[in-house]
Amino acid sequence: MKLGQHFLMDCDATVRIASYADLKPGDIVLEIGPGPGNLTQELATRAGRVYAVEIDPDLAGKLSGRFSNVQVINEDALKVELPLYNKIVSNLPYQISSKMTYRLLTRPFEVAVLMYQWEFARRLNAKAGSDEYGRLAMTVGFFCQIEILEKVSKMAFRPVPQVDSAVVRLRPKLDRPVVDEIEAAALIRLAEGLFNNRRKKVKKGLAALGVGRLALAELDPVLLEKRPEELTPDEAASLLEALPGKFVR
């Protein structure tokens, strides 16, 4: 294991994970970090096409050609131009969980079934005002409904990690059926900026991000007096909508 990934070896778990995505022959699936292909095999039997993005050339080489409907992409999933797909099913490498999740938010999808470390999944699903709530839950919670489907024992992986994992399902919210790339990137940057100043009130956090007094005056004063961890995902997004373009690269 060169890149820190722990491979899911429990066959029953791979069946359940694939089932959570309700795959059909017309579905095109993105899998990040397929490793030896245990989950890939289950996806290939259910979906019409699978794109498996694997950064390790040895693993990618062994997986290539094993399944007629699987295209292996030997690239870095954080940098490569991703193909078109409608569903995502992955045992994400732990070290890229945050960055990959943010990247996936900037592209449209119908459902994503993802394996995370247990504590990461808890933070992802945290509610505003809780100790675990942060930029991750604020950003993902605006765009998606989040479900923790099951806890997976660390003994299901090889090498055995130090912590248990969780299977999480993300579905775009009905009032936001198509993810807007600019909006997603902007909200990610806003959430990061606010939580970099999490001990300050929102108005001071925005000011630290370069938001001027005139722009602050246009915002809801009640929200400005809150702290970042008290803002719901929708409240955070309302700040962004009042400041078009402020946090877009």
Instruction: Report all structural domains of the chain as residue ranges with CATH numbers, in order of start.
Output: 7-172 (3.40.50.150), 181-241 (1.10.8)
pLDDT tops 70 at residue 194: yes
Residue 240 CA to residue 201 CA, distance in Å, equals 16
Give me the pLDDT at residue 212, please: 81
Give me the pLDDT at residue 183, please: 77
pLDDT tops 70 at residue 247: no
Tens of pLDDT along 59-96?
999 999 999 999 999 999 999 999 999 999 999 999 99
pLDDT tops 60 at residue 246: no
The pTM of the full predicted model, rounded to 2 decimals, is 0.92
Give me the pLDDT at residue 62, please: 96
Residue 85 CA to residue 108 CA, distance in Å, equals 8
pLDDT tops 70 at residue 57: yes
* Token pair 């890149």 in the structure block, residue: 3
Q: How many CB atoms lie within 10 A of CB 16?
A: 16
29 bridge partner residues: 50, 87
57 or 185, which is more confident: 57
Yes or no: say if 218 and 242 are a contact pair by the CB < 8 Å rule: yes
**At residue 207, what is the residue type?**
A
Sequence-distant (≥ 6) Cβ neighbours of residue 161 within 8 angstroms: 6, 94, 117, 154
Query: Long-range contacts of range 146-149, CB-CB < 8 Å, 24 or more positions apart?
Result: 146/170, 147/171, 148/121, 148/122, 149/20, 149/113
Give me the pLDDT at residue 1, please: 43
140 or 179, which is more confident: 140
Q: What are phi and psi of 161, to 5 degrees?
A: -75, 180
CA dist 177 → 100, 142, 243 (Å):
20, 12, 23
Furthest CA-CA distance within the chain? 60
Q: Poorest-confidence range of 48-52, 146-150, 215-219?
A: 215-219
pLDDT band at 245 (very low <50, low <70, confident <90, very high): low
Yes or no: say if 178 and 106 are a contact pair by the CB < 8 Å rule: no
